[in-house]
Amino acid sequence: MQMRTMAFWAAILLTFLVVISVSQNSLKPAQSNLIETHELNVAIDAGRVEHMVVDVQNDKVSGTFKNGQEFVSNSIVYEAQLEKWDANLVPYDLKPRKQTSLLTAFLVNVLPFVLIIGIAIWFMRSMQGGGKGGAMSFGKSRAKMLTEEQGKVTFDDVAGVESAKEDLQEVIEFLQDPTKFHRLGAKIPTGALLIGPPGTGKTLLARAVAGESGVPFFTISGSDFVEMFVGVGASRVRDMFEQAKKNAPCIIFIDEIDAVGRHRGVGTSGGHEEREQTLNQLLVEMDGFDGNEGVIIIAATNRPDVLDKALLRPGRFDRQIEVPLPDISGREQILAVHMKKVPLGKDVDNKYIARGTPGFSGADLANLVNEAALLAARRNKRKVTMREFEDARDKVLMGAERKSLSMTEEERANTAYHEAGHAIVGMNMPGSLPIHKATIMPRGRALGMVQYLPERDQISQSREEMIARMAMAMGGRAAEELKFGYDKVTSGASSDIEQVTSIATAMVTEWGLSDKVGPIAYKNTDQSSFMPGIGRGSAISPETARVIEDEIKRFVTEAHETALAVLKKKKKHWYKLAEALLEYETLSGDEITDLLEDNILPKRPDFEGGNGGTGGLSAVPTTIVVKPKPASKPKRKRKPKAQPES
């Protein structure tokens, strides 16, 4: 549309420039031959004129002097000069007027203006775009109508949101058979509001409702209503509902409705006035004097707290449907949907991948499958194996491998003992999650990491689990202190310290897990500083602030001391794991267990299209011994003695 507007004005400007240029060139004679009328009369009196030609139509005289020089003189009234020219015996010829036809006069004088007006009308009509958002159609609705030909979506294409499907089932049944409800005097909800984090499939769920019911589906964004001109948004709402009534029964889907449905009465500028008028019109159309039988509105937002209360009352968006992040079974179903188009290896396990992706939305899982397929193609594989899914998950969580990063042996050793400290502390703390992988391969901003694989989705955490998480997080810092000394401690534990402090703060101020503070929530207070007199806007006393600060410090200090004690007790395991990480760079949870119990690791050969055996998992039964020591044999002999005790 902008290109058409620019072309329109460019054509008008070019036409005027051409007309002006032609007119100037036709009227402008050569400057060197131009003489004034009195100069011509003097030359005639002196007898210096050889011959003249009089252009009667343009009142112009041209000719030559006796010395051969040509001349031109404009604006001469030749009738008054004829007697003088005859008296001086000046030879001249009269060039009569041309007989111009009406058609020629029209083409020359009228046609340019007709063309300019025609071009202007054509561009104006094209800018209107048949009533779809053109320059002269601000008030027309910008809703797009989707049909089955544009990609039908059903509930089979939507997974992991079973509760939301059940809530929307009534809408589908009403659209398919409304008499079933009318016979009992029931009214279907006018609007359904889908609430959930980004990427959970709210838009896909709305399209599935339309696909299941087989009715037209209008989609529009909340920002499409708001315009710089006051009243345009309300006009678009009216036009949208008029189109919907013509196609009833149908569904109108408004994505990101918080752009137009915010609380009224906030702000006084024109933009707010336009938004409020649009919201008022939407409220009237949804539940006003005029009914909208057969028109169901489905909207989506991830910020329900900012919506106007009138929009959420019964009769409008009276059904609010939560679309949460999928649980482990939901993630497994979503992965199955996205994996249908991907050739999979025999070792791919949906349940295992679902366990390792807590907190992933449907969009995140789709991206995970796509990244795995891209990695398999890059490695020239015909099928996507479990290795690609593992690497894709690491890439999504931590970023791509920084293979170009050059690390010294001292930095690699520091990273290895740091990550081994995390793993050893986590394995020896009650309430800790099972280890999934430990690596010193740099990814994103991290030089290494230890991943944990929960057995199930955690809805809440116990005090034991929180203490284990804090101790595990401080394991890296404690490992650096024990191995390299106080003065060699690096800044690599900054994110770990921040995590521990955050958990400790929540335990004291939100979850009531501090004996000194008690079960009192200080969540809404300013927690930037708990020093007496420093907390800005704080609603607590200086004494309480001091107690809170002391308790947070105590939790962090105890976590650090616990990590030091575990590493001192399990020093041999810690050193063994660090040395294995230096050699193999990446170890799985099973490999770590085999290493610490039996001192063996599975051998990992080169894989297709890869860079060797580092950084991946393999199920090859061949084993090798990692730095065998005489002390390892007595440990294996003492195993049977420990069985009766357990």
Structure tokens at 202: 């709210």
DSSP state at residue 321 = E
Cα dihedral across residues 269, 270, 272, 277: positive or negative:
positive
CA atoms of 423 and 476, how far apart (whole Å): 9
- AA letter at 270: G
Task: Single out the catalytic residue among 256, 274, 388, 419.
Answer: 419
DSSP state at residue 143 = P
DSSP state at residue 142 = -
DSSP per-residue string spanning 222-289: GGGT--SSTTHHHHHHHHHHHHHHHT-SEEEEEESGGGT-BPTT---SHHHHHHHHHHHHHHHHHSSS
CA atoms of 328 and 333, how far apart (whole Å): 9
- Per DSSP, the three-state class of 71 is strand
CA atoms of 419 and 480, how far apart (whole Å): 10
Radius of gyration of the chain (CA): 42
- Per DSSP, the three-state class of 120 is helix
CA atoms of 416 and 350, how far apart (whole Å): 31
Say if residues 265 and 167 touch (Cβ distance below 8 Å): no
Structure tokens at 57: 């139509």
Structure tokens at 449: 């990491």
The C-alpha angle 443, 445, 450, rounded to 5 degrees, equals 55
Say if residues 63 and 71 touch (Cβ distance below 8 Å): yes
Say if residues 378 and 387 touch (Cβ distance below 8 Å): no
Structure tokens at 316: 């409008």
CA atoms of 320 and 311, how far apart (whole Å): 11
Q: Is 409 a catalytic residue?
A: no
Q: Mind telling me the catalytic residues?
A: 419
